[in-house]
Copies of this chain bind each other. A is one copy, B any other.
Amino acid sequence: SRSIDLAVIPGDGIGQEVVAEGLKVLSAVLPQDVKLETKEFDFGARRYHATGETLTDADLDALKRHDAILLGAIGDPSVPSGVLERGFLLKLRFAFDHHVNLRPSKLLPGVATPLAGQPEIDFVVVREGTEGPYTGNGGTIRKGTPHEVATEVSVNTAFGVERVVRDAFARAQARPRKKLTLVHKNNVLTFAGHLWTNVFNKVAEEYPDVTTDYIHVDAATIYLVTDPARFDVIVTDNLFGDIITDLAAAVSGGIGVAASGNINPGREFPSMFEPVHGSAPDIAGQGKADPTATVLSVALLLRHLGHDAEAARIEDAVSADLAERGGLPARSTSEIGDALAARVAG
């Protein structure tokens, strides 16, 4: 489409700073005839402290009218753990049915990895976003007593598993290596494990050109540090995806460069794009945060909206910038944003 109507949620901590640079690069990359409109929303810790609200029905209605959402980061130590996570981040993922949580991991030239020997890393994790142990099912009895029992229920449906598995097969088929790995723990979580494994094997029959394999989540963490090159596309459950994508980000250059999309592939609701990192209150307001992960999230956003050429321009600019970075003096958040904006515009 020739216009983009974007909801912008800077959020907390470094969220403000990195989103500003994301928008700078977005404006720079878009052709003249694509009209960009943005509307800022004030969700996060400040709003919560001022009003007690995290995300109301009216908020959801307002967000729904936009083409996509760009989020900085949500979370602050002043808010009890879980309030903003469950009340904002997860509420939004569930309300807008963001069932494909897309997290690419690519070790770009010039980027430092904690792994010895600069291995090749170029894979994508397709994490389920609306089921598993993230549904909020469960409860507590006898709270605070020596007889307290707390449960968490992982809910998995054939519908929910199949749609994300199909999405992952399609992504694997579109990549040169055409390989898809299912990560689960089907030897222990046998109910959910059988569902995931059966659906995966059934859908695999429709993709004879995609090579498949299966790895337990514990073993997957080993391969991520000893042989990350074995992965091309990974599909996994919401919680396992949460865990392995942080590890994947760490080995492929750190959360400073890890982008993600919370995607509703059918576009019934706007998808949301955000860096994998959090609000990092310890460095907030100092112009130190690396906006690269947010800029790469903008690229995912553009690709989702069909602006593939612009997405590629951003990714190329980031690659070029990172390749040079070792030779550059330390730069501020906005200096990195400026450099990337100049590259995509040029």
Interface of A toward B, CB cutoff 8 Å: 81-82, 85-86, 90, 113-117, 133-134, 136, 138-140, 142-159, 162, 185-195, 197-198, 217-219, 221-222, 224-226, 239, 242-247, 249-251, 254-255
Contacts and interface: CB of A to CB of B under 8 A. Distances in A.
Contacts of A247: 218, 221-222, 224-225, 247
Nearest to A86: B190
A246 B239 CA distance: 17
Contact of A154 (B90, B151, B244, B255): B151
Given A116-B114, A116-B115, A151 B191 contact: yes
Q: Assembly of this chain: how many copies?
A: 2
A150 B188 contact: no
A217 B86 CA distance: 17
Contact of A222 (B148, B242, B255): B255
B225 A251 contact: yes
18 contacts: A81-B197, A114-B115, A133-B152, A133-B188, A138-B154, A146-B162, A152-B156, A152-B192, A153-B154, A218-B243, A218-B247, A219-B246, A221-B221, A221-B246, A222-B246, A222-B247, A225-B250, A247-B247
A188 B90 contact: yes
A146 B160 CA distance: 10
Contact of A81 (B148, B149, B154, B187): B187
Nearest to A189: B152
Q: 8 nearest interchain CB pairs?
A: A218-B246, A221-B247, A148-B158, A152-B154, A150-B191, A150-B195, A85-B187, A222-B250
Given A85-B188, A136-B190, 14 more contacts: A81-B193, A82-B190, A134-B188, A138-B191, A147-B158, A147-B159, A148-B157, A150-B156, A152-B156, A154-B154, A219-B246, A221-B221, A221-B247, A225-B251
Contacts of A185: 239, 242
Contacts of A147: 157-159
Contact of A221 (B139, B152, B191, B243): B243
Contacts of A190: 81-82, 86, 136
Nearest to A227: B114
Contacts of A244: 221
A319 to B, nearest CB: 22
Nearest to A238: B188
